[in-house]
Structure 1
Amino acid sequence: MRTGEESPRPTPEPPDQAPDQVTVRLATRLARLRTEHGWSLDDLARRTGISRSTLSRLERAEISPTAALLNRLCSAYGRTMSRLLAEVENTPSHLVRADQQTTWQDQASGFTRRAISPPHTGLRGEIIEGILRPGADISYDQPPVPGLEQHLWLLEGALHVTAGDHTHHLHPGDCLRFHLWGPSRFHCPGPLPARYALMIILP
């Protein structure tokens, strides 16, 4: 190397993307719930089958939970996903405008969830909108609350829903009603995304 030449500097790596506000508030609520139950991270790991390190990162908002992980946490805390997300809302209201409805995404599985019903922790019924991208396949090993009554109305695309031992192949306009006691699976075979409205009623 010639005298006076500077060695090339490495290109700095881009900073990690900051978590969105929903992720931060959700992380705070999850940490508080564990404290309220008097559980350590190890206790919660045993109850959910989620590793201690993953739980710790979730509670610090370093990662966003997948739909499957969030379902396990909801089951441990005896909450539906909608109730948990409602608990992180800033100002619950009787009316929520379309552009103010909370949207949560599971990028890993290709699932987008929009809370249609105005958030409230005491509601027994709620409506959500779900969108699964083509090829998305989500499995839940147990319901967040056993015996949940669900009405799934498919609006666009095609959707295969497995509840218990039965698999149902839905087309636009079809509505499936079922009580959820065990494992379930949602699969979008494509070629279009599956968009549906899901009505959930607590037992």
Structure 2
Amino acid sequence: MGNDDMGTADVDARLAARLAELRSAHGWSLGDLAARSGVSRSTLSRAERAEISPTAALLNRLCAVYGRTMSQLLSEVEETPAQLVRAADQAVWTDPASGFTRRSVSPPQAGLRGEVVDATLAPGADLGYDRPPVPGLEQHLWVLEGGLAVTVREVTHTLAAGDCLRFRVWGGTRFRCLGERPVRYALLVVAP
């Protein structure tokens, strides 16, 4: 699946349906989910009806409530996961609000704890998450091109091409593109 308008609209529609299914499966009203996630009822309602494309920050809050990584949630809206994932079939999700693009290189699959994500932040992009999607999530971030500032546990690390930062996510994190070119990095995620 590419990131063209038709593909993005299709992913957004399936994602909206999955978000509504998750809330319903928990027996929560929009108000209940709003209280748990800190996201307004109107925003949740619009996301569940595919009236808006959820931002990375919004998905992160919902993943934290549902106990899933973002890749797990996005993989749930894809077709049946395959053992071999061809480049042309890797799901791409873009958050135009933050300048973040995420390719699920090896999406999560039942019985496996690791996944690989190819991420790009646009120049000037500043992406913050107020909580981890799953506490204790292990991440290995390897910068492929450009510069990146990553804040974990209130410590900021400046990374250049080739640098790798390993950490567990227990609280908020922040990712900032440094310089006038996009930063591209591989993120290896291992569920606890």
TM-score exceeds 0.5: yes
Counterparts of 1:49 and 1:194 in 2: how far apart (Å)?
Answer: 30
Query: 1:122 offset after TM fit, Å?
Result: 3.9
2:186 is equivalent to residue 167 of structure 1: no
Q: Name the residue aligned to 2:58.
A: 69
* Identity fraction in percent: 65
Max radius of gyration: which structure? 1
Provide the rounded CA distance (Å) in 2 between the counterparts of 1:67 and 1:174: 24
Map residues 110-189 of structure 1 onto 2, 5 A cutoff. Answer: 110-189=99-178
State the one-letter code of the partner of 2:134.
V
Does residue 38 of structure 2 align to residue 49 of structure 1?
yes
1:27 aligned residue (3, 16, 41): 16
**Secondary structure in 1 aligned to 2:106?**
coil
Amino acid in structure 1 at the alignment position of 2:178 = P
Counterpart contact for 1:86–1:121, Cα < 8 Å: no
Number of aligned residue pairs: give it.
187
> Considering only aligned residues, what root-mean-square deviation do their CA atoms show, in Å?
1.2
What residue ranges of structure 1 are gaps of 5+ in the alignment?
Answer: 1-16
Asked if structure 1 preserves the Cα contact closer than 8 Å seen for 2:107 and 2:116, the reply is no
CA distance in 2, matches of 1:35, 1:121: 22
The amino acid that maps onto 1:105 is T
Q: Which consecutive aligned stretches of 4+ in structure 1 deviate over 3 angstroms post-superposition? A: none
115-124 or 35-44: bigger deviation: 115-124
Give ranges in structure 2 of 5+ residues lacking alignment: none
Residue 146 of structure 1: CA displacement?
Answer: 0.4
- Find the counterpart in structure 1 of residue 68 from structure 2: 79
What secondary structure is seen at the aligned counterpart in 1 of 2:138? strand
Q: Relative to 1, partners in 2 of residues 1:185 and 1:118: Cα closer, same or farther, differing over 3 Å?
A: closer
Structure 1 distance, partners of 2:107, 2:61, is 24
Instruction: Report the CA distance between 1:123 and its aligned residue.
Output: 2.5
SS of alignment partner, residue 32 of structure 1: helix
Distance between the aligned counterparts of 1:199 and 1:116, measured in 2?
A: 10
CA distance in 1, matches of 2:190, 2:108: 14
* 1:95-110 aligned within 5 A: 95-110=84-99
Secondary structure of residue in 1 paired with 2:156: strand
How far, CA to CA, are the matches of 1:169 and 1:65 in structure 2? Answer: 28
Q: 1:119 offset after TM fit, Å?
A: 4.5
Mean Cα deviation higher: 85-94 or 74-83: 85-94
